[in-house]
């Protein structure tokens, strides 16, 4: 008898975006003439930078001739891309990361989902609340989360991120083996300083724990004093794996390219307490289960680091951050406390109402779609997330409509 993985039965239905779609469809049917502006789902709206498109085209043309055609590439990514990443994203900022510590992939979603399989089934995990749902759900699937209990899972240590701690969770009070962190944060938009990040690195070193650091929104950091990488913190190489993505940085959500950094001295332990290096484990996992990102896509990603690409990506980020400022200012002028939007594309708005009630109010009265914070965890209740990923015209019109309510 074929049997299922019963851990899947413990998953909460992922109804957030389907419920949003249902409510938006009902509104549209009842009000066919009304305009709807979507500031909900975190997908980008602007085209790939020209430098990326040019490189993409050129690489596709190379595939047309036997002499330049590329078959399977290295599972870890082509050296031309890994070297640019190591140099520009790390060494230029004083972070000691080398190109052979970078694993190019087709997305940070897959990497943050898959990484847990190199760890034991009985480790104790700390996950922030609210959270990008992938970290939690993949551990539920793997049987590490325990049982659902009043909206949470019995074996997970939740790191509450609330306005009381400015959306930077406290260190876990109990011993944990694995800590997920995400900065700039989805959904709260919060960022972390070096002084705030250092205690997490120290905790991991003292407790033989590991940090999984999701920096998918790093490119939106404007404040030069904020760390863009956990490897800007001393001692992080041994205790942290970092995830990055070109999705939001350069509009690659549909093109798919990202990378994960596993430093060669990053370690974990077996049951006997013997140390093992995770680079070899992740390399083994990737070479067994993944055949690399297509050559044209990696060429398009490489172009982000060219002179023209650097300028174009800056313009792209600036465009969305201009939207973010407008959203933040508009919501604050209406008296709502906001996090995010200064070094991140998400604005986390404290509504004073139930998240879904406020969602319905914005939809019905202004035709604006946001994301109810309760969908990201218990601590998201009472909040909504507004995304800066839309045209400036749409964002400006959405804010005007909200101001008129």
Environment class of residue 2 by beta-carbon count within 10 Å: exposed (0-12), middle (13-18) or buried (19+)? exposed
Is 253 among the residues that bind ligand PLP (CB under 6 A)? yes
Q: Are strands 178-182 and 156-160 parallel, antiparallel or unpaired?
A: unpaired
Is 220 among the residues that bind ligand PLP (CB under 6 A)? no
103, 132, 153, 320: which one contacts ligand PLP (CB under 6 A)? Answer: 132
Give yes or no for a contact between 341 and 189, defined as CB atoms under 8 angstroms apart: yes
- Report the chain's C-alpha Rg in angstroms: 21
Is 42 among the residues that bind ligand PLP (CB under 6 A)? yes
Is 214 among the residues that bind ligand PLP (CB under 6 A)? yes
Our CA angle for 267, 269, 274, nearest 5°, is 110
Stretch of 17-25, 245-253, 322-330, 370-378 contacting ligand PLP, by CB under 6 A: 245-253
Is 351 among the residues that bind ligand PLP (CB under 6 A)? no
Torsion from C-alpha of 296, 301, 306, 312, nearest 10 degrees: 120
d(CA 37, CA 17): 15
**Per-residue DSSP letters for 100-164?**
GGEEEES-HHHHHHHGGGGS-TT--EEEEES--THHHHHHHHTT-S--EETTEETTEEEEE--GG
Stretch of 44-52, 101-109, 170-178, 196-204 contacting ligand PLP, by CB under 6 A: 101-109
Considering the complex, what minimum distance in angstroms separates the CB of residue 230 from ligand PLP?
Answer: 14
Q: Give how far Cα 93 sits from Cα of 7, 87, 250, 259, Å.
A: 42, 9, 20, 18
Q: Which is nearer to ligand PLP, 40 or 367 (CB)?
A: 40
Contacts of 284 (CB under 8 A, 6+ apart): none
Is 108 among the residues that bind ligand PLP (CB under 6 A)? yes
Considering the complex, what minimum distance in angstroms separates the CB of residue 301 from ligand PLP?
Answer: 11
The first and second tokens of residue 215, run together, are 């920096």
Give yes or no for a contact between 103 and 83, defined as CB atoms under 8 angstroms apart: no
107, 345, 367, 380: which one contacts ligand PLP (CB under 6 A)? Answer: 107
84, 109, 279, 385: which one contacts ligand PLP (CB under 6 A)? Answer: 109
Using the structure block, give the residue that is written with the tokens 């990361």: 97
DSSP assigned state of 330: H
Q: Which is nearer to ligand PLP, 159 or 402 (CB)?
A: 159
Q: Which is nearer to ligand PLP, 137 or 366 (CB)?
A: 137
Q: Which is nearer to ligand PLP, 179 or 402 (CB)?
A: 179
Is 377 among the residues that bind ligand PLP (CB under 6 A)? no
Q: Which is nearer to ligand PLP, 77 or 107 (CB)?
A: 107
Our CA angle for 223, 227, 231, nearest 5°, is 160
Q: Are strands 258-261 and 102-105 parallel, antiparallel or unpaired?
A: antiparallel
State the residue number with the nearest CB to ligand PLP: 107
Letters for 158-197 (x = contact with ligand PLP by CB under 6 A, - = none) are ------------------------x---x-----------
Number of residues lying near ligand PLP (CB under 6 A): 14
176, 216, 321, 324: which one contacts ligand PLP (CB under 6 A)? Answer: 216
d(CA 46, CA 44): 6
99, 116, 138, 247: which one contacts ligand PLP (CB under 6 A)? Answer: 247
Q: Which is nearer to ligand PLP, 75 or 214 (CB)?
A: 214
Considering the complex, what minimum distance in angstroms separates the CB of residue 277 from ligand PLP?
Answer: 25
Residues of this chain that bind ligand PLP (CB under 6 A): 42, 107-109, 112, 132, 182, 186, 214, 216, 245, 247, 253, 258
């Amino acid at each position: 008898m074929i049997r299922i993985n019963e851990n899947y039965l413990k998953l909460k239905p992922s109804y957030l975006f389907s419920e949003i779609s249902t409510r938006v469809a009902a509104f549209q049917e009842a009000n066919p003439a009304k305009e709807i502006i979507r500031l909900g789902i975190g997908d980008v709206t602007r085209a790939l930078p020209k430098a990326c498109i040019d490189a993409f085209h050129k690489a596709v043309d190379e595939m047309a001739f036997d002499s330049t055609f590329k078959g399977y590439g290295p599972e870890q990514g082509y050296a031309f891309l890994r070297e640019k990443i190591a140099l520009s994203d790390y060494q230029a900022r004083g972070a000691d990361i080398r190109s052979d510590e970078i694993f190019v992939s087709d997305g940070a979603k897959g990497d943050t989902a898959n990484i847990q399989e190199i760890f034991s089934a009985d480790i104790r995990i700390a996950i922030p609340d609210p959270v990008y749902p992938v970290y939690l759900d993949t551990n539920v699937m793997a049987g590490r989360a325990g049982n659902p209990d009043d909206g949470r899972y019995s074996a997970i240590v939740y790191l509450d991120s609330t306005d009381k701690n400015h959306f930077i969770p406290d260190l876990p009070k109990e011993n944990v083996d694995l800590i997920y962190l995400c900065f700039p944060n989805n959904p709260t938009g919060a960022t972390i300083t070096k002084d705030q990040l250092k205690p997490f690195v120290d905790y991991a070193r003292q407790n033989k724990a590991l940090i999984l650091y999701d920096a998918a929104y790093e490119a939106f950091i404007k404040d030069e004093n904020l760390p863009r990488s956990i490897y800007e913190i001393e001692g992080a190489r041994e205790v942290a794996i970092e995830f990055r993505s070109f999705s939001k940085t350069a509009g690659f959500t549909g093109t798919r390219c990202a990378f994960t950094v596993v430093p060669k001295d990053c370690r974990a332990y077996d049951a006997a307490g013997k140390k093992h290096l995770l680079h070899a484990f992740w390399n083994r996992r990737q070479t067994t289960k993944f055949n690399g990102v297509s050559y044209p896509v990696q060429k398009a990603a490489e172009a982000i680091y060219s002179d023209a690409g650097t300028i174009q990506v800056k313009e792209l980020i600036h465009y969305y951050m201009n939207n973010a400022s407008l959203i933040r200012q508009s919501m604050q002028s209406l008296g709502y406390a906001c996090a995010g939007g200064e070094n991140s594309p998400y604005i986390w708005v404290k509504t004073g109402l139930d998240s879904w009630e406020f969602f319905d109010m914005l939809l019905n009265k202004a035709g604006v779609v946001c994301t109810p914070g309760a969908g990201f965890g218990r601590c998201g209740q009472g909040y909504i997330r507004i995304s800066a990923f839309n045209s400036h015209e749409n964002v400006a019109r959405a804010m005007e409509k909200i101001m008129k309510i």
